[in-house]
Amino acid sequence: VRSSAGKVTVTNLDGLEPVYQPIWDAKTRELAGFEALARWRTPLGELIGPEGLYEYGLVADWTHVAPTMLDKAAKALARFRRSAGDVFMQVNLSAAEIARATLVQEVESIIRACDLPRDVLRIELTEQAALRDVNRALGAFAAFRAAGAGIVLDDFGAGHSSLAWLADIPADGLKLDQRLTSMMSRPRGRVIIKAIIDLAHDLDMSVTAEGVETHALADHMRDVGCDFLQGYVSGEPVCEDAILEFLRSKI
């Protein structure tokens, strides 16, 4: 551990235990993939996320965490695919990660070691992180794709979304931020969401709605053409064993 901005930065990876949240096909309601989210096992056995860490006066050092998250998530994906078929795994990367030159090679060797086909391991990058240095982000996107990883723009519509910027990015998909998703209950919000989905499709990007908490919202999202759904309505993030148990119960 080391000190930064009054918080102690967590660099210990022993307790790192990713959880996986299912992502569903909006039309068929079949399992389509997962998002991996970092959790730490405390000495008391509790599993805490980034916000939980913060309450203990800790912050995650994502640069330190990312290679292990990618490795664990890719291995879990290989196991999930044995019973779930052609599902994908999305892993979050911070802006600092994107700046690290060796990451692309790490991603490439993880994909090879796990014998994964192209585009099933996907990087989630927040729009804000990407916008911080557009040229660097564009270079990183191209390198990740060449390495066989997909790119998904996370938290779309949450920050300073630049529609013009979408013209340049070769992302495979975008995730509607929960704040945007929740606008579906208002007529004007629905118009905006539908327009974004149509735009994304015209740019060959798939759309995932995040924070889907009700069946009504899931139906409305499907009706405006949304491809994937993620949220508490159909599954919270859970540990690998719980996913494997769920997959076994389906056979």
Residues that bind Mn ion (CB under 5 A): 92, 124, 154
Q: Are 250 and 223 in contact (CB under 8 A)?
A: no
Question: Whose Cβ is closer to Mn ion: residue 92's or residue 161's?
Answer: 92
Cα 6 to the center of its chain, rounded Å: 28
**How far is the CA of 156 from the CAs of 42, 133, 150, in angstroms?**
32, 17, 16
Using CB under 6 A as the binding rule, whether residue 22 contacts ligand G is answered as no
Using CB under 6 A as the binding rule, whether residue 244 contacts ligand G is answered as no
Helix (H, G, I), strand (E, B) or coil at 7: strand
Using CB under 6 A as the binding rule, whether residue 127 contacts ligand G is answered as no
Q: Give alpha helix (H) positions in 56-161.
A: 62-84, 95-98, 103-113, 127-132, 134-146
Using CB under 6 A as the binding rule, whether residue 232 contacts ligand G is answered as yes
Residues 8-67 binding Na ion (CB under 5 A) are none
Query: CA torsion sign, 104 to 106 to 16 to 75?
Result: positive
Q: Give dist(CA 35, CA 58) in Å, integer.
A: 23
Question: Whose Cβ is closer to ligand G: residue 14's or residue 202's?
Answer: 14
Question: Whose Cβ is closer to ligand G: residue 160's or residue 248's?
Answer: 160
Using CB under 6 A as the binding rule, whether residue 63 contacts ligand G is answered as no
Two tokens at 181? Answer: 């998703």
Using CB under 6 A as the binding rule, whether residue 65 contacts ligand G is answered as yes
Using CB under 5 A as the binding rule, whether residue 154 contacts Na ion is answered as yes
Instruction: Name the one range near ligand G by CB under 6 A: 74-82, 140-148, 184-192, 205-213.
Output: 205-213
Helix (H, G, I), strand (E, B) or coil at 153: strand
Question: Whose Cβ is closer to ligand G: residue 40's or residue 80's?
Answer: 40
Beta-carbon contacts of residue 142 (< 8 Å; ≥ 6 apart): 170
Using CB under 6 A as the binding rule, whether residue 67 contacts ligand G is answered as no
Instruction: Name the one range near ligand G by CB under 6 A: 92-100, 109-117, 136-144, 221-229.
Output: 92-100
Buried b (16+ CB within 10 A) or exposed e, 218-244: bebbbebebbbbbbebbbebbbbeebb
Using CB under 6 A as the binding rule, whether residue 239 contacts ligand G is answered as no
Residues 203-222 binding Na ion (CB under 5 A) are 210
Rule CB under 6 A: which residues touch ligand G?
Answer: 21, 37-38, 49-51, 62, 65, 69, 92-94, 124, 154-155, 178, 210-213, 230-232, 237
